[in-house]
Chain A
Amino acid sequence: MAVAAVLVAALLTAGIGVWVALRELPRIAKWMIERSIPGVEAKLGDVSIELPGRLQARELTLTSKADGGHLLTLRGGTVDFDFRELAGGRVASVELVEPRIEVSPKLLALLANLTPKQTADASARRKWTIGRLLCKYGEVRTSGIGPEELKIDAKFSFDFTGFPVPARDLHEIFLWDLQASAAESEPFFRVDLAEIAFDPAQISGRIETVRIKGGSLVLGHELLALFEGEGTSPSPGATAGLTIGRLEIARVGIRLEEDPQLGAGIRFSLNTTFANVPLNKAASALGEEPQAIEVADLEILSPLDPLTKVLSIRSLLAEFTLAGLLRREIRAITVTSPLIHVSPDLFWYMEYAQKRFGEEGDGQGGPGWTVRQFILTGGRLLLGSGGRESYGLPLTFRTSAENVNLGNLASLRAQAALEIPAQQYVFEDYKLEFTSQPGELRFGYPPEKDEKNIVGTVRLDSLRWRQYRAADSWVSVTFDRSGINGLFGGEAYGGYLSGGFSFFFDAESHWVGWLSGKKISMRQLTDVIAPQNFRMTGPFDFRLQVDARRAEIQRVKGDLIATRTGALTIAKLDDMLGRVPDGWPSLKQDSVRIALETLRDFDYTKCSGDFWFVDSQGVLDLVLQGPSGSRTFEVVLHADDSTQGRWKKPLPR
C-alpha cells in the first residue's frame, strides 16, 4: 500500500513536473539560449510540444543585452524527434521558418566570445546530430562591418540531409537577390544566385565551392574603398583563414561607374574561375586576376547631351585587372574601327575634360587613366553625332603608344598623333581614287595655342577624280567647334592647283570652296575635258569660288587668264567641214570652208575670260586676241526654255 502511495506520489510529482515544464517551456528555452550565448537576450513567443515528438517554437527574437540591437528573428521552427533517439543525441529534423539574421559587429563579437572552452564543454557533453536541417526561406543582412560599413542583404535557403555530418557529399546553401552597398549609397554588387557548398567538418577552414551565377558589379568608389580597406580592416574571426576551394563567377555584368574621361556605357560580362582563394583575399584575387574582354558598342557621350556620341567603338579588346581598373590603369587596349564623331560636342568634350582634369590630370576626378599599351587600327572620322545625318570621311587612322595617360591632356596631345597609313583608296561610288603617303591626325594642334580641334594632314602620291588627275598633292583639314576648314594643293596638268573649303557642322548651313590654278597647261586640260573636239594650248591661271548649301551648289564664279600665247582649235568643226554638200556651188562651198576654218583655228596672244553659274544657269565670257583678229565667245546656259531674264536675250529670228 505504501509502495502504491509512493508510486502515485511519484507519478503525480512527475506529472506536475511535466505539466510545469510544458507550461514553462518558453522560459526554459529562453534560459537555455541565454545561457548558451552570453550577452544575448532572447524573446520567445511560444513553444509547444506535440506528442509523440514535435517541438514547435514561434517568434524567437535575439537581441543584444548591451544595447538592445537586433541579432536574429525566427518566425518559427519545428523540431521533430523520437524520445528514444534523444538519448543518443539525434534529432530527426529541424525546420527553421523565415529566419532573419542581422550580422553586425555585435553578433560577430558574441560569436567570438563563445570561447573554445565553452564549445569544447558543450561538445564534450553531447554531439547532437540532425537528420535533416531545412530552411526554405531566410534573410540575412550585414551592417556596420568594416570601415566602409558594408551592407549586404541576401535571401537564402538550405536543405541539409544530415547535420553536421552530411549524408551526401556536401552541404549546399543557396543565396539569391544578394545586394552589397556601402553606407547609404546604391548597391554596387548584385548577385542573382550564389551556390555555396561546404563540408561542415572543414567549415572553419574551407568552403569547397562558391558559384555566382548572374549579377552585376559597379566598379566605382565603393569598390575601391573596399579594396583599399581589405588589408587594413580586421577580419572577422569567423572568416580568418577560410579558403574557397573553387570560386566560379559567371555572367556577372561589370559596369564602370560613369567617368567623365571615359563616359558612360562601359559594360562587360565577367566569367572566371579561381582555385583555393583565401576568403579574406577573394576580392584581391578577383582584383588581380588578368581579364581579357572584348567590349562591343562602347560609347563616350557628349558632356552636354547624352543622346549625342563623341566616340563609338564597335570592338575594344582590353586586358586589365579589376584592381587595375580601380586604380584607373589598363594593361593593354586594342581598339579596332573606332569612330570619332566630329561635331561641336566633340570639342565641348575636349574642353570639358580639360576643365575637369586640368593639363596634369589632377582635378577632382583624381588621377587620370593610364593605358600601358595602346593599339588602335582602322579608325575613322564621322561628321555628325552618329544620328541619321552623318557622313564618313574616306580616311582611316591608326596608332600605337605606351603608357598613355588619358588624364594628362598635355601628355596625351603630344602622344595623340594618329597615323594615317599609306594606302590606296578606291571609292567607286564617288569615282575617286587616291594613293596616300603616311599622314597624321592630331588633336589640339598646335598644342601651344591650346586649340580644341583636330587637324588631319595627308599627302597623296596620286589622285584621280573622274577623268581628272593630280600628283604630289596634300590635304590639310581642321575640325573645330564651328566647322570644318580645309586646304589642299597639288601638281596637276603641268601647273599647281591650290584650294580650300569651309563648312559649318549644321547640315542645313552654307559652305564655300575655292580653287585656283597657276600655269595650268590648257592643252593637257582640254585634252581631258573634250578630247579631239576642242583644244587650247598655253598656260593659264584661273580661280573659282563655289557657294553651296547642303549638296546643292548655288553659285560658281571665276575667271581665267592666259599667261603666254597659245592657240585655239575647235576640231569638232572638222566634222562640219567634212559634211559640206558636194552639190553646192563651188563658191558657196569655198565660202563655208573658209568661214569654218577661220573659226576652227586661232592663234592668240591674249586670252581672258570669266564665268558664273547660279543654280542651273550661267554665263561664260571668253575673249581671245591675236595677230589675225579676235574671238569673243559668250556662252549662256539657260535653266529652261524661257527667253525672259536679266541676262537673257531673245532668240534670233
Chain B
Amino acid sequence: MKPTLLLSLCALLSSCKAPSVNLATPDPIKVDIAMRVDVYQHSNNRATVKEKTKPVAEDPAARRRNRMADIQAFKNDRLVGEARDGLIVIVKTPEGEHGDYVRKTVEAENADRAQQMKDLAETRKISLPEIQSEQGALWRNRAFEGELIEVEIEPGTWKWSAKGG
C-alpha cells in the first residue's frame, strides 16, 4: 500500500505546473549615492598666503599717493611749503601729537620724493641737484594760490612766500 500511495502522489505532482518566482520590480531599481570626498593639501599653503600679503606699499609713488591728502591738508593749513630743492619743509610746527604726526608724515614724504628723484637722476643721467632744482620749480608751478613756496627774490637769495601773494 505504501509504495502505491507514493507512486500515485508522484504522478499527481508531476502533472502539476511548478510555482513561478517573480524577481523583476515594477519600477526600475533606484540607487541613491551620496559621497563626500575630502581633498587635503599637504603643502604649507597658509604660510604662503600670508607671505603674499604685504600691507605696506613698496612703491614710493604708491606710498606718496596714500599720504597725498595729508600733505595737501598741511599745505592748506600753511604748515608746510614747497622748497626749492623739490622737497617740502615744515614752516610752522603745530604743538602736541599733531606736530609729531606732521613731522613724521613730512619726513616720510621727503624720503619718498628723494628716492623718486634719485631714480629720476639715474634714469636721465643728470645730477641729483639738477633734478631737485627742476622738481622744485615744477612743484612751485603746481602749488595752488596761497600755498607757501620758496621764492628766489634775487640770485641766490630765497624766502618763503604765499604763492600769488
Could you list which residues of chain A lie within 8 angstroms of chain B, going by C-beta atoms?
258, 264, 297, 301, 303-308, 344, 384-385, 387-389, 506-508, 549-552, 598-599, 615-616, 627-641, 649, 651
Residues of A within 8 A of B28 (CB): 627-628
Interface residue stretch chosen among B7-15, B37-45, B98-106: B37-45
Rounded to whole Å, the gap between the CB of A573 and the closest CB of chain B is 12
Q: Is the CB of A630 within 8 A of B58?
A: no
- Please report the C-alpha to C-alpha distance between residue A279 and residue B10 in the assembled complex, in whole angstroms: 148
Instruction: Say whether B49 faces chain A, with CB atoms less than 8 Å apart.
Output: yes
Query: Which residues of chain B are within 8 angstroms of A552 by Cβ–Cβ distance?
Result: 49, 52-53
Chain B interfacial residues counted at CB < 8 A: 43
Task: List residues of chain A with CB within 8 A of the CB of B57.
Answer: 389, 507-508
For A641, the chain B residues whose CB sits under 8 A away are: 40, 42
User: Which residues of chain A are within 8 angstroms of B134 by Cβ–Cβ distance?
Assistant: 264
Partner of A616, one of B49, B62, B65, B66: B49
> Quick check: A633 and B37 within 8 Å, CB to CB?
yes
**Nearest B residue to A641 by beta-carbon distance?**
B40
Query: What chain A residues lie within 8 Å of B113 (beta carbons)?
Result: 307
- The count of A-to-B residue pairs whose CB atoms sit within 8 angstroms is 122
CB distance from A353 to the nearest CB of B (A): 14
Do A306 and B38 form a contact, CB below 8 Å, given A387-B62, A615-B45, A632-B33? no
Question: A631: which B residues are within 8 A, CB to CB?
Answer: 32-35
B32 touching A635 by the CB < 8 A rule?
A: no
Say how far B85's CB is from chain A's closest CB, in angstroms.
13
Contact assessment for B41 and A387 in the assembled complex, using a CB-CB cutoff below 8 Å: no
In the complex, which residues of chain B have a beta carbon less than 8 angstroms from the beta carbon of A599? Answer: 33
On whether A388 and B53 interact (CB within 8 A), knowing A307-B135, A632-B35, the answer reads no
Structural contact, B40 and A508, CB atoms closer than 8 A = no
Interchain CA distance A628-B41 in the complex, whole Å: 34
Sample of 14 further A-B pairs with CB below 8 A, known A387-B61, A631-B32: A264-B138, A307-B113, A307-B120, A616-B49, A628-B30, A632-B35, A638-B38, A640-B41, A640-B45, A640-B46, A641-B40, A649-B36, A649-B38, A651-B38
Q: How far apart are A529's CB and chain B's nearest CB, in angstroms?
A: 16
Decide yes or no: A629 and B40 within 8 Å by CB, A388-B61, A616-B45 being known contacts.
Answer: no
- Chain B residues within an 8 Å CB radius of A635: 36-37, 39
CA distance A264 to B137 in the complex (A): 11
Choose one: A304, A387, A506, A638; the contact of B142 (CB below 8 Å). Answer: A304
CB contacts (< 8 Å) of A264 on chain B: these are: 134, 138
Q: Which residue of B lies closest to A630 (CB)?
A: B32
B37 / chain A contacts, CB cutoff of 8 Å: 633-636
Q: For the complex, what is the distance from the CA of A488 to the CA of B42, rounded to whole Å?
A: 37
Nearest CB in chain A to that of B57: its residue: A508
Q: Tell whether B117 is near chain A: CB-to-CB under 8 Å.
A: yes
- The verdict on B161 contacting chain A, using a C-beta distance below 8 Å, is no
Q: Is A301's CB under 8 angstroms from B138's CB?
A: yes
Q: Is B142 a contact of A598 with CB atoms below 8 Å? A: no
Q: How far is the CA of A307 from the CA of B117 in the complex (A)?
A: 8
Would B52 and A551 count as touching, CB distance under 8 A?
yes
Tell me if B59 counts as interface (CB < 8 A to partner A).
Answer: yes
Residues on A with C-beta less than 8 A from B39 are 635-638
**A389 x B40 contact (CB < 8 A):** no
Query: B64 on the interface (CB 8 Å rule)?
Result: yes
CA gap between A344 and B68 in the complex, in Å? 12
Question: Which residues from A are CB-within-8-Å of B142?
Answer: 303-306
Contact between B36 and A636, CB atoms less than 8 A apart? yes
- Bound-complex Cα distance A304 to B64 (A): 12
> When chains A and B are docked, how far (Å) is the Cα of A640 from the Cα of B117?
46
Q: Return the chain A residue nearest B52 by Cβ.
A: A552
Q: Which residue of B lies closest to A626 (CB)?
A: B30
Interface flags, B123-137, vs A, CB<8A=1, else 0: 010000000001100
B46–chain A nearest beta-carbon distance, Å: 6
In the complex, which residues 49-78 of chain B have their Cβ closer than 8 Å to any Cβ of chain A?
A: 49, 52-53, 55, 57-62, 64-66, 68
Contact A550–B33 (Cβ < 8 Å): no
Distance in angstroms between the alpha carbons of A506 and B65 in the assembled complex: 9
Q: Given that A303-B142, A637-B39, A649-B38 are known contacts, is A388 also in contact with B59, CB under 8 Å in the complex?
A: yes
Measured between C-beta atoms, what is the minimum distance from A319 to chain B in Å? 25
Known contacts A389-B62, A507-B62, A552-B53: A616-B36 contact under CB 8 Å? no
Supply 20 A–B pairs (Cβ within 8 Å), ascending by A: A297-B124, A303-B142, A306-B135, A306-B139, A307-B61, A307-B135, A308-B61, A387-B60, A388-B58, A506-B65, A508-B62, A598-B31, A615-B46, A616-B45, A632-B35, A634-B36, A639-B45, A641-B40, A641-B42, A651-B38
Chain A residues closer than 8 Å to B64, beta-carbon distance: 305, 307
B93 lies within 8 A of chain A by Cβ = no
Give the CA-CA distance A306 to B39 in the complex, in Å. Answer: 53
* Complex-state Cα separation, A353 to B45, whole angstroms: 49
Using Cβ atoms and an 8 Å threshold, which residues of chain A touch B35?
A: 631-634
Cβ–Cβ < 8 Å partners of A297 in chain B = 124
C-alpha gap A507/B40 in the complex (Å):
32
Which of A264, A388, A598 has most B Cβ within 10 Å? A388
Name which residue of chain A comes closest to B113, CB basis. A307
In the complex, residue of chain A having the shortest beta-carbon distance to the beta carbon of B63: A387
A304 to chain B, nearest CB (A): 6
